[in-house]
Amino acid sequence: MPIEYAPQAAAQLDALEQSADDQTWDAICDVLELIDQHPDSAQARREEIAGSNGARMWKVSVRSPSVDDLAVLWSRSSAGDYVVFVGAMPTAR
């Protein structure tokens, strides 16, 4: 099944495609491909987190020389894989 994108994640991807440097964009695409091709792998499920609504999802860090704390958050349901967020993770205060 193809990956589905939350409206917020789709907008974030559109913005990053326009603003990110080539290395960062390639790294984002690599993470999305990992989720699409190997969703059950340890790399795709390295860090499990809970959303503010209690929903469980996975965080996959994106290695970027120009953007700190860049990540993709995604979940899985019977309908398929669902990307919830793509961007810089907020820091805890």
Q: What pLDDT is recorded for position 8? A: 93
Q: What pLDDT is recorded for position 47? A: 93
Residue 31 sits in a domain whose CATH number is: 3.30.2310.20
Strand-pairing partners, residue 83, are 5, 74
91: left (phi over 0), alpha (psi -120 to 50) or beta: beta
Domain hosting 58: range is 4-88
Q: Domain count of the chain?
A: 1
Q: What pLDDT is recorded for position 91? A: 64
pTM value > 0.85: yes
What is the DSSP code (8-state) at residue 92?
P
Local mean pLDDT, 10-residue blocks, the chain (93 residues): 88 94 94 94 93 88 87 86 87 56
In a domain, 93, yes or no: no
